[in-house]
Amino acid sequence: APVIVWFRDDLRLADHPALSHAVASSGAPVLCLFVHDPRTAPSGAAQWWLHGGLCALRDDLSRMGATLHVVRGDATVLVPRLAQQAHAAQVVWNRRYDPQGRETDTTIKAALKQDGVAARSFAASVMHEPWTVRTRAGDAFRVYTAWWRAARAMGDPPPPLPAPGQIAGAGTPDGWRAECVGIDALGLLPVAPDWAAGLRATWHPGEAAARARLHEFVHDDMAGYATARDRPDLPATSLLSPALHFGHVSPRQVWHAAVCDGDGAAGTEDHAKFLAELGWRDFAVSLLYEQPELVRSNFRTEFDAMPWRDDARDLRAWQQGRTGYPIVDAGMRQLWQTGWMHNRVRMIVASFLTKHLLMDWRVGEGWFRDTLVDADIASNVVNWQWVAGCGVDAAPYFRVFNPVLQGKKFDPDGTYVRRWVPELAHLPASRIHCPWTCGPAEAPRGYPAPIVGLDEGRARALSAWRGLSGAT
Ligand code: FAD
């Protein structure tokens, strides 16, 4: 009887424990399945990535002798039905940890059990599963530094598994033919307008491209990471976040590549900092696992009374990169055009929205969810709450980023701003982060004046925050 491997956020062949288990299962034929479930499907830019990731997986599987079967609909109905139709002995998958995904998987596991089909799940998309890193008292950590210390004390995560040499694929079962659709039929690509040109020019979804980028990063770019990672004008970070989100590469593969292959980097500050950033990804997953309500709710409940502003014009200016603050606008335009934004700039634009514009972090989180190719429920929510000051281990709300000083510090020559805000390209470095100080001859055309004064926005935010009972 065949084994069904249900692919989800693990679109790869290497270090895929569910696939390896199926292949090793006494030569049983393997049925590879992807369910496009509208309830858990990504939106916007991440949909575009999913299309490319599925095509790459289909081609990689086909080279190994297997077929990727794609179906569309409610996974809780489809997976048990397809298992019955295929007379499958087992359905296997790699675990996910977000609230919606867990609920779906629990329901499906119960339904399969009732039908007499075995279900087995494996750890693959994090280095440390949420329940494995605990305080001495057995509780979950709430502070990253303590979580990271405990995680490091557990040693390196297990080494990644190799891709199977060959997959004994099974033909499409009769009952499946009516359900299976082509990847194009999922409608993941934009039709009109085609907003994905910048994405196509920037990214190559799929396992092969992710592995190549990982190799390039650990060999060529990891040196200098500890300091250069904060500079959006330099190509200093791994750019692996979308590949990690869709599982073209696993965090264990990234970890071991950094530890073993990083030429001379092992044990350096660059190396330690990179591993610690990778740790943040797991920590975000574990926070959401412990408190699923964080998806929508402030961890610090005093923020429930925050008088967030609802101003459609200011929100549009932020979304379109027309706030009048060059580093904010550069970041928002980089996001719109490429589906990605540098981490330092994500912090700056999030601070600007939640503090200078006094808008709810959930509004910004929603915009990021639609526009990021790496949009990830745990990383997005946890980081937004961190910047907004209402999260578990958060920056205090009163620490308001000054976008001019941030720009001068982290984009000192203005190279990043010049790239994304061409109206300002002619300005010297001394003026590029504060174009309103230019004389009439230099003044940029078509670039807006600041939509809020720096002091005015800061004072308004701090006064709103001081009005909250329990604000500290
Ligand atoms: P690198 O610096 O090369 O880091 C390596 C990997 O570590 C990343 O690919 C990522 O998986 C992980 N990582 C690094 N920093 C963080 C972090 N702060 N939190 C969690 N994981 C981290 N990241 C997402 O993957 N999806 C999101 O939806 C997302 N939303 C964010 C929203 C805000 C407001 C902020 C401030 C940050 C957000 N991040 C998110 C985290 C971070 O900005 C990106 O992971 C990072 O910029 C990706 O670039 P990179 O792969 O070159 O990172």
Q: pLDDT value at position 430?
A: 96
Q: Decide whether any atom of ligand 1 lies within 6 Å of the 353 Cβ.
A: no
472 has pLDDT over 70: no
* Averaged pLDDT for residues 192-203: 95
In this predicted structure, the answer to whether residue 262 has a pLDDT above a threshold of 70 is no
Average pLDDT estimate for 94-118: 97
Domain annotation for the chain: domains and CATH numbers: 1-125 (3.40.50.620), 127-159+208-290 (1.25.40.80), 301-466 (1.10.579.10)
> In whole angstroms, what is the distance from residue 376 CA to residue 360 CA?
19
Query: In whole angstroms, how far apart are CA 31 and each of 52, 224, 233, 274, 357?
Result: 21, 44, 45, 37, 51
Mean pLDDT of 71-75: 97
Mean pLDDT calculated for residue range 319-341: 98
Average pLDDT over residues 66-71: 97
Question: For residue 79, which of 38, 121, 109 has the smallest C-alpha distance?
Answer: 109
Q: How far is the CA of 432 from the centre of ligand 1 (A)?
A: 27
Q: Is there a cis peptide before residue 38, judged by omega within 30 degrees of 0?
A: no
pLDDT at 67 over 90: yes
Atom number in ligand 1 closest to CA 238: 3
pLDDT of residue 338: 98
Does residue 260 have a pLDDT over 90?
A: no
Report how far ligand 1's centroid is from the alpha carbon of 325 (Å): 23
Reported ipTM exceeds the 0.95 cut: yes
Residue 264 has pLDDT above 70, yes or no: no
- For the full predicted model, state whether its pTM sits above 0.80: yes
What is the whole-number distance in angstroms between the Cα of residue 118 and the centre of ligand 1? 36
What is the DSSP track for 324-393? Answer: S-HHHHHHHHHHHHHS---HHHHHHHHHIIIIIS---HHHHHHHHHHH-TT--HHHHHHHHHHHHT-STT
Cβ contact 368:361 at 8 Å:
no
- Is 261 in contact with 215 (CB distance < 8 Å)? yes
Binding residues for FAD: 225, 237-241, 274, 374-376
Contact 105, 99 (CB under 8 A): no
Amino acid occupying residue 77: V
Rounded average pLDDT over 372-401:
93
Residue 343 known to be catalytic: yes
Give the distance, in angstroms, between the CA of residue 407 and the centroid of all CA atoms in the same chain: 24
Q: How confident is the model at residue 25 (pLDDT cuts 50, 70, 90)?
A: confident
Q: Can you tell me the distance from the alpha carbon of 224 to that of 106, in angstroms, rounded to the nearest whole number?
A: 44
Binding residues: 225, 237-241, 274, 374-376
Give the pLDDT band of residue 178 (cuts 50, 70, 90). Answer: very high
Distance from C-alpha of 232 to C-alpha of 237, rounded to nearest angstrom:
9
Confidence of residue 384 (pLDDT cuts 50, 70, 90): very high
Question: For residue 160, is pLDDT > 90?
Answer: yes
Task: Evaluate whether 160 touches 252 at the Cβ level (below 8 Å).
Answer: yes
Q: Residue range 118-128: average pLDDT?
A: 97
Closest ligand 1 atom, residue 364 Cα:
34
Q: Is the pLDDT of residue 267 over 90?
A: no
Report which DSSP code applies to 169.
B
| pLDDT for residue 263 | 65
Which one, of 197, 178, 190, lies nearest residue 51 by Cα?
190
